[in-house]
Amino acid sequence: MGRLTLRIWILIIVLIFALLAISPSFQTGALIKSVEKNTTYFNDGLRAGMVITSINEQEVKNSEDYSKIILSVFPVENETKLIIQTKERSFIFYTNETPLILVSNLPSSKIKTGLDLSGGARALVKPEKPLTASEMSDLVAVTSNRLNVFGIADVTVKPVSDLEGNNFMMVEVAGASPADLQELVGKQGKFEAKIGNETVFIGGERDITYVAKTGQEAGVESCFQVEEGYACRFRFAVHLSPEAAKRHADITSKLGVNTTDGGRYLDKKLDMYVDDQLVDSLLISEELKGKETTQISVQGSGTGASQQDALKAATESMRKLQTVLITGSLPYKLEIVKLDTISPTLGKEFTKNLIILAIVVFAIVSIVIFIRYRRIKITLSVILTLFSEAFITLGIAALISWNLDAPSIAGIIAGMGTGVNDQIVLIDESVSNQRESMKERIKRAFFIITGAFFTIVAAMLPLFWAGAGMLKGFALTTILSVMVGILITRPAFADILKKIQKD
């Protein structure tokens, strides 16, 4: 075919850069996504981003290996030795509790996938009133903090809007359930501790200086049978600010004392409310009457049909209450307009079916083009150009860290369809009207292709805002794909056609 033209060299160079941007990886291990703070693991140096390669000298190739090994070791009654080997160093722990570590598989490339492929939950949230850009920014920051404190990893919180100008907040969480989002985002989370009608303290940094989450100051104390099944009680320590402690002293100094359950307690309880709903009432010891105490113990319970269910419910209730106490209430009341959940299994199945579909499409396109033009070189050129276009689009997505979800994949497929159509226009023009020069025929084909390009871009731009930005992935990848075609692959394909026609 002779020497390669500048346009073909540009295509080859861009493909190399796309490969570098995608950076396919074949590493093994389990990637640490989060480590619970105030635990031995965190204090000894285990951090998110480290890669676990073995546990107790058993090789860890992926997150499934990690889970199997941990489940085979824990829970145990007595402390056992746990050796966690990472790529950085080795960690040795002595414990009888399952490590509070969240892991995932190592990414196979720098291509990021959205919830449609990786699984998780998505909530489209609307504030009770229109917010300014500054107010929406504050809401996004507080919501992100609340989800991070709760221990949820891979959180994306961003402001979005629709074509009517309505402002929303999009919350996407990999690995979380809709129930988690409903509790942490769908409710304002206003915590108040009252004695009678007087507020002693509220959630947030103003009144709360420390909330125990693990260790001896926090945990599930006991489980017992009840009529409905089982119940488990939890407790955790809360440290109050001096101002909140003084309010406690002022309010309790006015209370009387009663003898209850064999002990002497004040005649009013400490009532705890979340979003104006009573969640628990605690007896106040006579010793705390008029005392400026800066430490109290918050208690609660969870129930379930089995002891395991009750233990899980109590643990979740404790985590949610701790989160609300640490972060305080959200600045505005929110309404969840749309709540979706995607199974990781469904994402894997979708990816598998997508690969199969791509192979089928490539085969069908190849057969149709070969039947139409009866030339194997033209058929191979179309397929290779089509593959190059999709690969470069994926490279750009990896470079800008764009999360590829189902709409984004659909956009790439739409771009590939447009690419095939444009290539057929180029082929038809190149073999028609032989009285004109090849240059004139290709020029006329590009006029048609350029007109179609601007039409597609004009059609895609409104989709950036339609549906509160939920179709943005489709719009962006479609535009990227057709831009790659008009600037890189179409010119290179035209030069390839010229060389084929000369042969």
DSSP string, 63-104: HHHHHHHHHHH-S-SS-EEEEEEESS-EEEEEESS---EEEE
pLDDT of residue 1: 47
Cα–chain-centroid distance for residue 112? 10
Q: Domain check: are 228 and 179 in the same one?
A: no
Q: How far apart are the C-alpha atoms of 288 and 338, rounded to whole Å?
A: 47
C-beta separation of 43 from 35 below 8 A: no
Structural domain includes residue 89: yes
**Residue 397: closest CA among 9, 11, 23:** 23
Shared domain check, 495 and 442? yes
> Do 431 and 349 share a domain, yes or no?
yes
Sheet holding 334-342: strands in order across? 155-161, 167-174, 120-127, 334-342
Taking a C-beta distance cutoff of 8 angstroms, is the pair 299, 314 a contact? Answer: no
- Report how many domains make up the chain: 4
CB 412 within 8 A of CB 477: yes
- Are residues 214 and 172 part of one domain? no
Do 490 and 349 lie in one domain? The reply is: yes
Q: What is the Cα–Cα distance from 300 to 454, expressed in whole angstroms?
A: 61
CATH number of the CATH domain containing 178: 3.30.70.3400
- Kindly list the distances between the CA atom of residue 478 and the CA atoms of 180, 342, 373, 408, 456, in Å, as whole numbers in the listed order: 33, 24, 28, 8, 8
Q: How far is residue 63's CA from residue 52's CA, in Å, rounded to a whole number?
A: 9
CA gyration radius for the chain? 30
Phi, psi of 171 (to 5 degrees): -120, 120
Identify the burial level of 488 via C-beta atoms within 10 angstroms of its C-beta, where 0-12 means exposed, 13-18 middle and 19 or more buried: buried
Of 314, 359, 348, the C-alpha closest to 63 is 348
Residue 323 CA to residue 302 CA, distance in Å, equals 17
Question: Residue 463's pLDDT is what?
Answer: 76
- My answer on whether 366 and 463 are in the same domain is yes
The domain boundary residue, chosen from 105, 132, 164: 105
In a domain, 41, yes or no: yes
Instruction: Tell me what pLDDT residue 269 has.
Output: 87
Note the Cα 42 to chain centre separation in Å.
22
Which of 50, 75, 105 is where one domain is finished?
105
Structural domain of residue 416, as residue ranges?
A: 6-24+345-502
Q: Are 68 and 128 in the same domain? A: no
State whether 363 and 493 are in the same domain. Answer: yes
Instruction: Please indicate, yes or no, whether residues 130 and 218 belong to a single structural domain of this protein.
Output: no
Neighbour count for residue 333 (Cβ, 10 Å) = 14
With respect to residue 319, please indicate whether it lies within any of the assigned structural domains: no
pTM for the structure as a whole: 0.58
pLDDT at 16: 94
Which residues neighbour 57 within 8 Å (Cβ) at sequence distance 6 or greater?
83, 85
My answer on whether 128 and 77 are in the same domain is no
What residues in the chain have per-residue pLDDT under 70?
Answer: 1-2, 37-38, 115-116, 118-119, 148-154, 163, 174-181, 183-184, 186-189, 260-262, 342-348, 433-434, 465-470, 503
Residues 400 and 461 in one domain: yes
